[in-house]
Amino acid sequence: MLHVGVNGYGTIGKRVADAVRAQPDMTIAGVTKTSPDFAAEGARAAGYPLYACDEGSVDEFHAAGLAVDGTVEDMVDASDVVVDATPGGVGAEYRPLYEAHDTPAVFQGAEAPDVAETSFNSRANFETARDADYVRVVSCNTTGLSRLLAPLAETYGVEKARTTLVRRGGDPTQSERGPINDILPDPVEVPSHHGPDVQTIFPDLSIDTLGLTVPATLMHLHSVNVTLESTPDPHEVRDLLDAESRLFVVPERSGIESCGQLREYARDAGRPRGDVWENCVWGESITVEGRDFYCFQAIHQEADVVPENVDALRAMFDMADAEESVARTNAALGLERDGDARPDPRVAADD
């Protein structure tokens, strides 16, 4: 059993904790909270050992009636590995603490790539994290693009990828973020920083990205064009994407035409928190014109990096190869195509 500590129990941290607990070969050593708020109560109710971020806040937890098992240092001591899901930049500040305790760590996408030995995506470069002490799981957008580009690159070769990322303004809990009623080129510079982040996974890939931010909290939406090195058969490319366990090709007959409906679909299927761990690629949008591939895909920003964090842990501790780890993670989460209520898109393709 791998004992995993989660430092930063926010949007990503609480989901990673639940995903780790669901695995047969991992357990949660503890989670940290900065204050005794509703999420701290939730962590206690879930049965996770709870640690305060520093000595100064321990009394605050006790005053709120929440027992803590110590501070973040105690949690690091009790852990074989830490998943750091603190806000961007805070993870880098914690790295010396992890090093001092000789504890490996997984960082998240808002950290600079040099916080870790490698940037990670389960589908594209699992092996780079094998036996590494410090690994960075790339952002939600980069994870989504990597999952789509990996099979296209392997099968057809990629000459050039161009993607417009329509980004959600904030997560549902982030009431301080916006815009409320606007559409922003964000960043206004072209290309955006997302392309270089994808290149931390595919160093030789030619990719340009443009970013916008819109008043939405549900998902990101990517408009994708990839010029391939060879000409694919349109049906074959759809089958190729269908066969990927973390790509959900949204069937035409489902009537799903929006991100809101995708999230409702996940809630109806009983997914925890209504999470959509897979990329959602609209089947009707998969189009091939000569060597140009096009599609729309939606990315649930709160969820897609969660299974990748679990796989990163297995790679670091040499617990499985990529295929086995992805299968184990998917099975434990209920992400298997035949294991949940979502329709089989291969059947829908024949409709």
Amino acid at 82: V
Residue window 124-163: x/- pattern of binding to ligand NAD, with contact defined by CB under 6 A? ---------------xx-----------------------
Write down the catalytic residue from 140, 259, 280, 295: 140
CB of 11 to ligand NAD, least distance (A): 4
Q: Is 172 a residue that touches ligand NAD (CB under 6 A)?
A: no
53 is catalytic: no
Among 4, 5, 11, 312, binds ligand NAD (CB under 6 A): 11
Task: Please say which residue, 9 or 265, places its beta carbon nearer to ligand NAD.
Answer: 9
Residue 71, sorted as left (phi over 0), alpha (psi -120 to 50) or beta, turns out to be: beta
Residue window 12-31: x/- pattern of binding to ligand NAD, with contact defined by CB under 6 A? xx------------------
Q: Is 279 a residue that touches ligand NAD (CB under 6 A)?
A: no
Phi, psi of 288 (to 5 degrees): -125, 125
Angle at which helices 11-22 and 322-333 cross, to 10°: 100
251-278 burial by CB neighbour count: b if 16+ within 10 A, else e? beebebeebebbbebbeeeebebbbbbb
Phi, psi of 209 (to 5 degrees): -130, 145
Rounded Cα–Cα distance for residues 336 and 332 (Å): 9
- The set of residues, in sequence order, having a beta carbon less than 8 Å from that of 56 and lying 6+ positions away, is none
User: 3-class DSSP state for residue 301?
Assistant: coil
Rounded Cα–Cα distance for residues 238 and 85 (Å): 34
> Which residue is associated with the tokens 């899901």?
85
- Binding span for ligand NAD by CB under 6 A among 59-67, 258-266, 299-307, 318-326: 299-307
Contact yes or no for 119/89 (Cβ under 8 A)? no
* Residue 293 C-beta-side C-alpha neighbours within 13 Å: 33
Amino acid at 329: T
CB of 113 to ligand NAD, least distance (A): 12
Among 5, 8, 232, 274, binds ligand NAD (CB under 6 A): 8
DSSP state of 139: P
Residue window 227-266: x/- pattern of binding to ligand NAD, with contact defined by CB under 6 A? ----------------------------------------
Task: Please say which residue, 103 or 301, places its beta carbon nearer to ligand NAD.
Answer: 301
Task: Please say which residue, 34 or 225, places its beta carbon nearer to ligand NAD.
Answer: 34
- Binding span for ligand NAD by CB under 6 A among 23-31, 109-117, 178-186, 285-293: 109-117
Amino acid at 217: T
- The set of residues, in sequence order, having a beta carbon less than 8 Å from that of 227 and lying 6+ positions away, is 158, 159, 160, 161, 162, 291, 292, 293
Among 22, 25, 34, 212, binds ligand NAD (CB under 6 A): 34
Among 71, 108, 209, 213, binds ligand NAD (CB under 6 A): 108
Tally of residues, the chain: 351
Q: Is 301 a residue that touches ligand NAD (CB under 6 A)?
A: yes
Q: Is 87 a residue that touches ligand NAD (CB under 6 A)?
A: yes
Q: Is 85 a residue that touches ligand NAD (CB under 6 A)?
A: yes
Among 90, 214, 319, 320, binds ligand NAD (CB under 6 A): 90
CB of 183 to ligand NAD, least distance (A): 19
Rounded Cα–Cα distance for residues 342 and 144 (Å): 20
- In the complex, the residues that contact ligand NAD under the rule CB under 6 A are 7-13, 32, 34, 53, 85-88, 90, 108-111, 139-140, 171, 301-302, 305
- Residues annotated as catalytic are 140
